[in-house]
Chain A
C-alpha cells in the first residue's frame, strides 16, 4: 500500500523524477566504470609482471640470486616439480648461465636460459609474446629465441645462424651454431638486452650441466592468494629459498602499493563528487515539494508519515536508479574489459618498473565494483531526501504552504 502510493507519487511529476533518476543512474554507472578501470589497472600491472615470465613466486637454491652461479642449483628439482604438480600449482623449471653470441661481425654477451617449451606455454605467456617468428618447438633443435634489443644489436632476424660460445660447467669451452627461431616483443630492459632462450636439452649439452635447475617459477594466474602460494612452495621445497613477486620485484611492488593508495584516493573523490551531485538533485527535488508537504500536514498527516513517505519514495527512486545505473555501468565496464582503452596513442612501448606494460587498458568488472557504487549511491539518495523531508515535517503547515 505504502509502496504503491510512493510509486504513484513519484510519477505525479514525471519530469522531476526522470531527471533525478537519470542523475543518480548515470552517476552510479560512471562510478562502476571507473571503479572497474582502476581495479583493472592494478590487476593488469601485476598480471603483466607475473604471467609473462616471473610468476607469482620463485624457488631458488639458497643464495642463488646473489651470485647466479651455475653451480648453485636446486637439489632434486624433479621432486619439487612433482610436489607442486600434486598441489595443482603451475610451475616451470629454468636453468641460467652467461655466454657470448656472435653473428657475422657482431657479438654480444647474453644470459642463456634453458627452458621446457611445453611448460612455458602452459604456465606463462612468454611463448606468445613473440615479435617475429615463433617460440621454441617442443623438441630440441638448436633453436634460440632472443630479446628484442639483443637481436637488434646482433643484427639478426628469424632464420639467422648464430654462434654461441660459453664456458661450460666442467670448465671447457662450449660452442655451437644455433638458428634464431623467434624474437621476443619488448618485455623489460633486462630481458630485451640479455635473454637468449634455449631448449633445456640444448642448454644441458652446451653447458655440460645435466640436471642443473636454477629456478622454478610458479604461477596460478591470480587463482591462489600470494601467501598460500608461497606456503605451498615452501612445503614443496623446504631446503630452498621461496620468494614472491613482491620480493623479486620490489620496485614494482612499491609502485603497486602506491598505486593502490592512489586508486583509493581517486575513488574517494569520484564517490564524493557523485554523492554530492546526487545529494544536490535529491535536495532540490524534495525542497520543491515543501508546499505539498504543508498541505498534507494541514490535512492531518503527522510528521512521521511525511518522513516515511519521502523515505520510501527515495528508496524506490534509488532502487530504480541503481538498476538503471548498474546495467549501464556494467555494460560500460564490460565493454572496457573486453575491448579496453587503447592508450598506445600516448605511449608506444612503455614499461613500469622494468616490466613492459600493455598499452590496452582493460577494466576488471567484479561484483565489488558494481556493489560498492550502488550501495553508496542509494544511501546518499535516501539520506539526502530525508533532510528536507525532516524540515518539512517540523514546519508549521501554514508556513510550509506559503514556502516558495
Chain B
C-alpha cells in the first residue's frame, strides 16, 4: 500500500472524493470580479458541502498496471466520508471510512475493520495517486495559505486567472506552494499545481468535462499526474452526485462500515 508513497497531500479540499456544496451556486451575474479569496473559497465550496452521495469511476494508470474501480461515496460536513468499492469483483465491498483525522478500512474477504496507522497517512489510497491524507483534510484552503493573483490573461487560448498560494508558517500542510488556475467568468477550476517544500513540482491536478451534475455545473473529471512519473495518472470521473441530502451519522459508523 505504501509503494507509491506519493505526494503527501494536504489539500483535500479539491480532492475530497466526496464533495459537496454548502450553498448552491447558481452563478449570479457578477459585475465585479471576485477577489483571490473569493475565488479560492468558491473552488473550495464546489467540492465540499453539507452532505453528498454519488458514484464515480477511478481509473489508475501506472507503469505496471492499469485498473478501473467503481466507487460509491457519501460525505457529511467537513469531517465524515465513506467510500465503498463496487467493482472489480476481488475488492467489491471494501470500504474506507474517515471520521475526523482517522481512517478505517473494511476488508470483506477477512471480514475485519482495520484502523490505518498514522504512519500510513501519506501512503497511496487503494493504489491510486491519491494518498490517505488527501481524504482527511478538514480546514478551508484559505485558512492555511496566503495567496495572491499572479496572472490574469490569456493562456493557451483561454482567459484564466492564476492564484499563487503559499502556506502560512504555522499551517500543518505539506506543500510548499500551490498554483490554482481558474477560468475567468465562471471561476471553475482548470488546474492546480502542487509543489513540495523545495518548490519542485510534485503533481498536477487538472479539471475537465464541465457538466450539469446534481444542482450545479462543475468539472466532472479530475486527473492527477505525479510530476516524477508523467506516464502515470489517476482519473476520477463522477457518474452521478446528489447534494444536500439527509444523511444520518449512523452511515459513518464502524458498525455500518461492515455492512
Distance, CA A70 to CA B123, complexed state (A): 16
Across the interface, A172 reaches (CB within 8 A) one of B91, B110, B117, namely B91
Q: Cβ of B155 < 8 Å from any Cβ of A?
A: no
Q: Are A171 and B112 in contact (CB under 8 A)?
A: no
Interface 9-mer from A105-113, A119-127, A325-333: A105-113
Q: How many chain B residues touch A (Cβ–Cβ < 8 Å)?
A: 29
On chain B, the residues within 8 Å of A100 by CB distance are 1-2, 114, 116-117, 120
> Looking at chain A, what size class is its interface with the partner chain?
20 to 34
Of B1, B67, B115, B120, chain A has the most CB atoms within 10 Å of the CB of B1
Q: Are B2 and A102 in contact (CB under 8 A)?
A: no
Interface 9-mer from A3-11, A25-33, A159-167, A298-306: A159-167
Distance, CA A98 to CA B4, complexed state (A): 11
CB under 8 Å from chain A, chain B span 34-64: 60, 62-64
Q: Cβ of A173 < 8 Å from any Cβ of B?
A: yes
Distance, CA A171 to CA B107, complexed state (A): 16
Nearest opposing residue in chain B for A70, CB measure: B3
Closest chain B CB from A186 CB (angstroms): 21
Distance, CA A107 to CA B114, complexed state (A): 7
Across the interface, B110 reaches (CB within 8 A) one of A107, A109, A177, namely A177
Q: Cβ of A131 < 8 Å from any Cβ of B?
A: no
Q: Are B60 and A99 in contact (CB under 8 A)?
A: no
Known: A100-B117, A109-B120. A163 touches B67 (CB 8 A): no
Closest chain A CB from B5 CB (angstroms): 9
Q: Cβ of A228 < 8 Å from any Cβ of B?
A: no
CB under 8 Å from chain A, chain B span 65-114: 65-67, 88, 90-91, 94, 105, 107, 109-110, 112, 114
Nearest opposing residue in chain A for B111, CB measure: A177
Known: A71-B64, A172-B91. A102 touches B114 (CB 8 A): yes
Q: Cβ of A63 < 8 Å from any Cβ of B?
A: no
Q: Cβ of B124 < 8 Å from any Cβ of A?
A: yes
Q: Are A170 and B65 in contact (CB under 8 A)?
A: yes
Q: Are B3 and A165 in contact (CB under 8 A)?
A: no
Q: Cβ of B214 < 8 Å from any Cβ of A?
A: no
Across the interface, B2 reaches (CB within 8 A) one of A105, A109, A169, A172, namely A109
Q: Are A98 and B115 in contact (CB under 8 A)?
A: no
What does the 1/0 interface line of A69-93 toward B look like (CB < 8 Å)? Answer: 1110000000000000000000000
Q: Cβ of A138 < 8 Å from any Cβ of B?
A: no
Known: A105-B115, A163-B114. A175 touches B107 (CB 8 A): yes
Distance, CA A172 to CA B114, complexed state (A): 18
Q: Are B109 and A176 in contact (CB under 8 A)?
A: yes
Interface residues of B (CB under 8 A from A): 1-3, 60, 62-67, 88, 90-91, 94, 105, 107, 109-110, 112, 114-117, 119-120, 123-124, 126-127
Nearest 7 CB-CB pairs, A to B? A102-B114, A171-B65, A175-B107, A167-B1, A107-B117, A171-B67, A98-B2
